[in-house]
Amino acid sequence: MPSHTFERLQSALLGEAAALRMPPHNLAEVEAFLPVAHAELAPAAVLCGLVPRADGLQVLLTKRAEHLRHHAGQISFPGGRMEAGDASPLQTALREAQEEIGLAPETVRLLGYLEPMVTITGYRVYPVVAAIDPDYRAEPDGHEVSALFEAPLALFLDAGNERPFRIEFQGATRSLIAFDWQAHRIWGATASMLVNLRRRLMESDACR
C-alpha cells in the first residue's frame, strides 16, 4: 500500500465526538437479546490495530482464553469495559491492550473510530481504529488472552471471503457471518466490526 494509506483511512473514519453521539449501528438487530435496557448498556472499547507490512496492512487479533465466562476461545480485538478513570474510549482501548498483550501505548497512533455496536452480553462497544508500529512487541497475558496473531486486512475487504454462520441463542437461530484465516474462525462482534470497517473504507474509496 502507498505511504499515504493511513491518511486516507483516517479520512474515512469518525472522530471521537461523532462516535460518542452515534447510536449503535446494530441495535435493532440484537435489541431483543439484550440482558439489560439499551440505556443501561456498559460502555467498552476495543483496539482495531492495523500493522503495516511489506505485503499490506495486517489486523492485530487475539484469541480469548478458554476459561473465560464470556467469549471463551473466540477471536477478538484487545479491549474491555471502560473504567471510571478512563477519559475516553481510546484510553480504555490502550489500557486494555497493554494489560492483555503488553502493547505499549507509544506504539499506537489513533486513526479514528467506527460506529459503536451493541453486544448480546450487554456492552456498547466503541471500536478504536489505530496504526501500530510494525516493530511492536506484544505477548498474551495468559489470563484473558491465550494467543495473538495478524490477519491480512485484504481478507476482510473482500465480501467473497465471508462464510455463513449460524448459532442457537436463547431458543432462536441467529444468522451471522464469519471469516476463516488459517486455523482461526473470526465471527460475532469482531467480524461485524471488520465488515463495518470495510463499508466505511469502500464508501470513501480509502482502500483503493
DSSP string, 150-170: EEEHHHHH-GGG-EEEEEEET
Structure confidence at residue 165 (pLDDT): 79
Structure confidence at residue 136 (pLDDT): 98
Structure confidence at residue 73 (pLDDT): 73
- Chain CA centroid to CA 190, Å: 5
Number of domains in the chain: 1
Structure confidence at residue 2 (pLDDT): 44
Structure confidence at residue 16 (pLDDT): 96
Structure confidence at residue 141 (pLDDT): 87
- For residue 79, give its domain range: 5-204
- Tell the residue number behind the cell numbers 496473531, with chain if given: 149
36-53 burial: b if 16+ Cβ within 10 Å, else e: eeeeebebbbbbbbbbee
Answer for the pair 157, 91: CB distance below 8 angstroms, yes or no: no
CATH number of the domain encompassing residue 19:
3.90.79.10
Per-residue pLDDT of the chain (208 residues; tens, 9 = 90+): 444 688 889 999 999 999 999 988 776 666 666 656 666 789 999 999 999 999 999 999 999 886 666 666 789 999 999 999 999 999 999 999 999 999 999 999 999 999 999 887 888 999 999 999 999 999 998 888 999 999 999 999 999 999 887 776 666 666 788 999 999 999 989 999 999 999 999 887 765 5
C-alpha count within 13 angstroms, C-beta hemisphere, residue 113: 24
